[in-house]
């Protein structure tokens, strides 16, 4: 096997999880991040049992769990009347089926846990302020070319450069990601501002017509993460620009009093627009492969974008460790991951139209479906999603 390191373009959750998973298999890597620091925006993220189990497997679980909040339940409520439609207890039967559990974490804390795991390994080199512009193959591997003229040699290149991946254009060539027409607003709410009925130990989703609102505790429960989404036809690219509170509230004027009270508690909202893609047939070109959002960007509704990126990292490391030919290993990795991630991409779209955003008669059908699900059947529905790698690796 080539003694060259694996080059990773992008030091987000997917890129750093890849470095950690490779190190666990004895493979050296260089993670090249365009930003001057390995950091994440100030918002929360949910980690399902599939991701937590894989983080344990690759040796980052301990550091993640130190910062994780193991919330007690997931719940969906009707945003108009406030009625509870379904609750999934994340202890008891859930833990019996999915031993790794479920939790929420501040994104900065998740990245920090991965970053510290990288620093603890002498097989990982982290390079900030390194924007990769392109790559070339040579007989021994690949050369990654920095936008500032620097060069790095490796046995292969993993493009973990996110939703707007530039590497995807050379590997898949399917243009820009597809606008969903949805805009998301996020902020953190201190407990003293949060209405009492929302100061709870669960992740609660209020489903309304063409919109939904989510909150859960973060940071030792010292703050609540608020993520609210509206289907307003947005097609621009927004990545966290501040928006006046009054503008946000106006967009959600249709929701009922209970959801409204939590929405009104939020200040300092920032706006993102949401895009995804159709699943691609391949994520590999020679010795370069896509990973995470670059490979299978999905709407956030199944809370699985980062979780599936973490799974990708572990499968990729296994295949590169098994096979002396990096090109063949990358093909096997992509073949193994494609169907599962495509299914999660489709689920994420389905959740928006059928569960989170329906109105009128469709909302009544949704209510009947959710109210009719008992815990056992709900867990059965979730087993493929929350079993690491879908149970196939
Ligand atoms: C509102 C919202 C809520 C979400 N909630 C959840 C959730 O609860 N659970 C969950 O699992 N997922 C969730 N997701 C999805 C999750 O955030 C993403 O799937 C995940 O961050 C993807 O990680 P990534 O490493 O593939 O890409 P990114 O996080 O986008 O990281 C890409 C990195 O590459 C760097 N980069 C880009 N181009 C270059 C280049 N040319 N050279 C070098 N570096 C480069 C970027 O600076 C960045 O650091 C949510 C997403 C949104 C929008």
The pLDDT score that the predictor gives to residue 261 is 94
The pLDDT score that the predictor gives to residue 41 is 80
Predicted confidence (pLDDT) at residue 20 exceeds the cutoff of 80: yes
The pLDDT score that the predictor gives to residue 42 is 75
Predicted confidence (pLDDT) at residue 393 exceeds the cutoff of 60: no
Over the stretch 158-215, which tens digit does the pLDDT of each residue have? 999 999 999 999 999 999 999 999 999 999 999 999 999 999 999 999 999 999 999 9
β-strands 211-218, 84-89 pairing: unpaired
The span from the CA of 126 to the CA of 151, in Å, is 15
Over the stretch 211-255, which tens digit does the pLDDT of each residue have? 999 999 998 889 999 999 999 999 999 999 999 999 999 999 999
The alpha carbon of 327 and the centre of ligand 1 are apart by a number of angstroms equal to 25
Predicted confidence (pLDDT) at residue 63 exceeds the cutoff of 50: yes
CB contact at 8 A, 79 and 100: no
Over the stretch 326-350, which tens digit does the pLDDT of each residue have? 999 999 999 999 999 999 999 999 9
- Is the C-alpha dihedral spanning 151, 152, 154, 159 positive or negative? negative
The pLDDT score that the predictor gives to residue 151 is 98
| Positions of E strands within the chain | 6-9, 29-32, 44-47, 73-78, 84-89, 103-106, 124-127, 132-138, 141-146, 151-154, 156-159, 178-189, 202-208, 211-218, 223-234, 239-242, 270-276, 284-285, 288-290
Mean pLDDT, range 354-382, rounded to an integer: 96
Over the stretch 373-390, which tens digit does the pLDDT of each residue have? 999 999 999 999 999 999
Mean pLDDT, range 40-53, rounded to an integer: 93
The pLDDT score that the predictor gives to residue 221 is 86
Q: Any residues with Cβ below 6 Å from ligand 1, and which?
A: 9-15, 32-35, 45-46, 131-132, 160-163, 166, 184, 227, 272, 292-294, 300, 303-307, 309
Over the stretch 102-124, which tens digit does the pLDDT of each residue have? 999 999 999 999 999 999 999 99
pLDDT, averaged across the chain: 96
The pLDDT score that the predictor gives to residue 39 is 86
What class, spelled out in words, does domain 6-70+105-176+278-361 have in CATH?
alpha beta
The pLDDT score that the predictor gives to residue 1 is 47
The alpha carbon of 163 and the centre of ligand 1 are apart by a number of angstroms equal to 7
Residue closest by Cα to atom 20 of ligand 1: 306
Q: Which of 48, 55, 34 is nearest to 347 (CA)?
A: 48
The alpha carbon of 26 and the centre of ligand 1 are apart by a number of angstroms equal to 26
Question: What percent of the chain lies above the pLDDT cut of 70?
Answer: 99
């Amino acid at each position: 096997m080539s003694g060259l390191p694996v080059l990773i373009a992008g030091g987000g959750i997917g890129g750093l999880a890849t470095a950690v998973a490779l190190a666990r298999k004895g493979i050296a890597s260089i993670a090249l991040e365009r930003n001057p620091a390995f950091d994440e925006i100030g918002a929360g993220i949910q980690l399902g049992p599939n991701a937590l189990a894989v983080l344990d497997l690759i040796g980052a679980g301990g550091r993640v769990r130190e910062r994780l909040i193991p919330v007690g339940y997931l719940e969906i409520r009707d945003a108009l009347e406030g009625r509870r439609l379904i609750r999934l207890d994340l202890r008891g039967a859930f833990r019996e089926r999915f031993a790794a559990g479920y939790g929420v974490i501040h994104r900065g804390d998740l990245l920090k846990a991965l970053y510290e795991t990288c620093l603890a390994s002498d097989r990982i080199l982290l390079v900030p302020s390194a924007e990769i512009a392109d790559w070339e193959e040579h007989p021994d591997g690949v050369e990654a070319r920095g936008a500032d003229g620097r060069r790095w040699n490796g046995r292969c290149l993993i493009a973990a450069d996110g939703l707007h991946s530039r590497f995807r254009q050379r590997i898949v060539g399917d243009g820009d990601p597809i606008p969903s027409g949805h805009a998301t607003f996020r902020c953190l709410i201190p407990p003293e501002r949060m209405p009492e009925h929302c100061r709870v130990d669960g992740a609660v989703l209020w489903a309304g017509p063409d919109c939904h609102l989510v909150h859960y505790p973060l940071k030792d429960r010292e703050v609540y993460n608020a993520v609210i989404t509206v289907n307003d036809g947005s097609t621009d690219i927004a990545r966290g620009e501040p928006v006046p509170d009054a503008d946000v509230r106006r967009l959600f004027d249709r929701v009922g009093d209970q959801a409204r009270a939590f929405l009104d508690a939020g200040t300092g909202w920032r706006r993102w627009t949401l895009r995804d893609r159709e699943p691609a047939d391949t994520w590999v070109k020679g010795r370069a492969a896509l990973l995470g959002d670059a490979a299978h960007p999905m709407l956030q509704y199944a809370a699985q974008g980062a979780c599936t990126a973490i799974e990708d990292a572990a499968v990729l490391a296994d295949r590169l460790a098994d096979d002396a030919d990096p090109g063949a290993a990358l093909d096997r990795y992509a073949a193994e991951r494609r169907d599962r991630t495509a299914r999660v991409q489709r689920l994420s779209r389905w959740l928006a139209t059928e569960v989170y955003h329906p109105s009128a008669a469709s909302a009544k059908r949704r209510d009947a479906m959710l109210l009719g699900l008992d815990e056992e059947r709900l867990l059965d529905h979730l087993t493929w999603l929350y079993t690491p790698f879908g149970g196939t690796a």
